[in-house]
Structure 1
Amino acid sequence: MRFVHCSDVHITGDYFALPLRRLGWRRWLAFAELTVGGRARAYRHAPETLARIAQEAHAHAADHFILSGDLTAYALESEFQGAREALGSWVEDRRRCTVIPGNHDVFTPGSHRSRRFERYFGHLLESDLPEHCREGAFPFVRLVGEGAAVVGLLSARVPFLPGLAQGWVGPAQLEGLAAVVKDPRLAGRALLVVVHHAPLTPRGRTDHVFHGLRDAEALCRLLPGPRHAVLHGHIHHRYHHEATAGRPHLFGAGSSTLAGHEGYWVIDVAAGQVVGGQPHTPGGLSQAGGPPGRHA
């Protein structure tokens, strides 16, 4: 079985065409990042790049497409709409697509209260095993073929202030995940757990307190060995930490549409285990390493 994994596509609206009163003070502060920081320029072609990755997933004969959050720059309605359009037919069928929110998708309290993410992607949150849901739709379980299951977790929380980008899964979801792991109906299946925040940095360390996954260690303890993989984004590096006896495979998809560092993972599952992953750049070329730089 084959999975395509991308993340942090940051579809970016035209902020300069919108009245400031509609943006809110949090997005006002983001203008420095959009302009001086170069974010608007770096993601100018994000819709086209995401559409190309979605098309190439068909060429890879992928069974399932996974996007692990940060679909948007700062959670505008038009950005969610653009992400959904770029994903094409994948997003129409929850049996073939998993999408979870990232911290940029809940950038403002208003976007969270209005359930903006759910308006465009809520149909993908429905679980095949709803008895394991603990926090709203999470964790949800998607059965893929006979040999795998995808589990979606929520780690993205509305920040108290822009720039605070830490996440956490929380004890309720972790308890639900523990029940998923033990569920006899999933015996013999590889479990691919999708979360936005990174359990470990590219160097194998815990991320810093204002950016990392607060309960990363507890998450990894539930998922030891090559049966399990955690697929994430948030850190704009593309990297893979092999599974050990005490932790799962960790696949960081980087920022899949960042100009000059575009890319995604093709991950293979066989005999109920994750057996390999290959990074690719849009255009069909595999790549040996990940891009430099890290952003929230």
Structure 2
Amino acid sequence: MFRLAHISDIHLGPLPALSVLELASKRITGFVNWHRNRRRHMFANTLDLITEDIERRDPDHLAITGDLVNLAAKIEIDTVARWLAVVGKPENVSVVPGNHDAYVPGAYERSTESWYPYMRGDDAPKGWTEDRHVFPYMRVRDYVALIGCSTAVATPPFAASGYFGRRQARETVNLLRAAGEAGLFRVVMIHHPPIHGATSFHKRMIGIRRFAAAISAGGAELVLHGHTHLNTVHWLKSPAAPVPVVGISSASQGPGGHKPPAGYNIFSISGGPGRWNMMRERYEIDQFGTDIVLAETTRFSTAE
């Protein structure tokens, strides 16, 4: 049995002191939003409780689906790189970026370069190069293929949309088909929910139909996403069986807010092609913010 943990929307805090030059951009809107809203509900100790509980359960791999920073300042990106080194080794942790990781022009490149060991496909060069596409990437761990896609792009103020383009769709199909032919359980990681109506218009993913077509053409067994800070399950069509599309709450969200408290999923995967079985255990922080409890258990099957 392969056990895959999933967290998202880390928003690693606290927010660092930024210069006037750094705030002279879209960052000023995020800075104000943090101090008006997120600062009251995003707590570092919450994230610590989540990651410590995951470590105690000792899954085989950890997937992180974006928004590791808040305003994508260099000091934040560097801090996340150090945090990732504590969370796990690059071969045991897979990351895809979110819109906050590409908050302003140039941030996407800085984030990708800094966190590249956690985003590098098995066949990709060990060194990061700016003139090369990182996404989609594929990592094979035991009988599970982890395919990382990116929707992270810099957007104007008050927008948090993502983009999934033609090149990435085409290459994602190729990876999915190759993994399927190898008899692997295929997990696609992406930040924005690839589902119509899953989020508001200004936070949507542009290219939802393109992504759905890639899943339909290539096949998959599971899609993981973040962005909404909600615990959700949707479905996409694929050649063999409907594919569960699972979202998770922010890993830093304290209790008592208007969004669900911080949590994570562990997927226990067994079986084989045409007879895969998967159980999802969703854990979340309790109402007092002091302990992690089992909130939900769901069983999925792709038996034909």
Question: TM-score, normalised to structure 1's length?
Answer: 0.82
Give yes or no for the alignment of 1:222 onto 2:219.
Answer: no
* Distance in 2 of aligned mates of 1:126 and 1:19: 32
Give yes or no for the alignment of 1:250 onto 2:235.
Answer: no
- CA apart distance, 1:242: 5.3
Q: Which has the higher strand share?
A: 2
Residue 279 of structure 1 is matched in structure 2 by 282
Kindly tell me: are residues 137 and 118 of structure 1, through their superposed partners in 2, closer, same or farther at Cα, counting changes over 3 Å? same
Residue 300 of structure 2 is matched in structure 1 by none
Alignment size in residue pairs: 275
Residue 201 of structure 2 is matched in structure 1 by 209
Identity of aligned residues (%): 23
Maintained 8 Å contact 2:237/2:243? yes
Residue 11 of structure 1 is matched in structure 2 by 12
Equivalent residue for 1:288, pick from 275, 290, 296: 296
Give yes or no for the alignment of 1:109 onto 2:102.
Answer: no
Residue 195 of structure 2 is matched in structure 1 by 200
Kindly tell me: are residues 39 and 103 of structure 1, through their superposed partners in 2, closer, same or farther at Cα, counting changes over 3 Å? same
Kindly tell me: are residues 274 and 140 of structure 1, through their superposed partners in 2, closer, same or farther at Cα, counting changes over 3 Å? farther
Residue 30 of structure 1 is matched in structure 2 by 30
Kindly tell me: are residues 269 and 29 of structure 1, through their superposed partners in 2, closer, same or farther at Cα, counting changes over 3 Å? same
- CA apart distance, 1:177: 1.0
* Distance in 2 of aligned mates of 1:274 and 1:50: 30
Maintained 8 Å contact 1:253/1:265? yes
2:134 match: secondary structure: coil
Maintained 8 Å contact 1:220/1:248? no
Give yes or no for the alignment of 1:152 onto 2:148.
Answer: yes
2:162 match: secondary structure: coil
Equivalent residue for 2:164, pick from 155, 164, 169: 169
- CA apart distance, 1:29: 2.4
Deviations 1:153-203 (A, max 9, x none): 0111111x12211112111111111111221675321111000100127xx
Q: RMSD between aligned alpha carbons?
A: 2.7
Residue 116 of structure 2 is matched in structure 1 by 122
* Distance in 2 of aligned mates of 1:32 and 1:89: 30
- CA apart distance, 1:89: 4.1
Q: Unpaired segments of 5 or more residues in structure 1? A: 290-296
Maintained 8 Å contact 1:268/1:276? yes
* Distance in 2 of aligned mates of 1:190 and 1:184: 8
Maintained 8 Å contact 1:240/1:250? yes
Maintained 8 Å contact 1:67/1:100? yes
- CA apart distance, 1:214: 1.9
* Distance in 2 of aligned mates of 1:171 and 1:162: 25
- CA apart distance, 1:248: 1.5
Give yes or no for the alignment of 1:62 onto 2:59.
Answer: yes
Question: TM-score, normalised to structure 2's length?
Answer: 0.80
Residue 2 of structure 1 is matched in structure 2 by 3
1:83 match: secondary structure: helix
Residue 128 of structure 2 is matched in structure 1 by none
Maintained 8 Å contact 1:3/1:267? yes
Equivalent residue for 2:94, pick from 95, 98, 102: 98
Residue 294 of structure 1 is matched in structure 2 by none
* Distance in 1 of aligned mates of 2:52 and 2:72: 24
Deviations 1:38-90 (A, max 9, x none): 212322x23x3333333322322311111100001111223223333334444
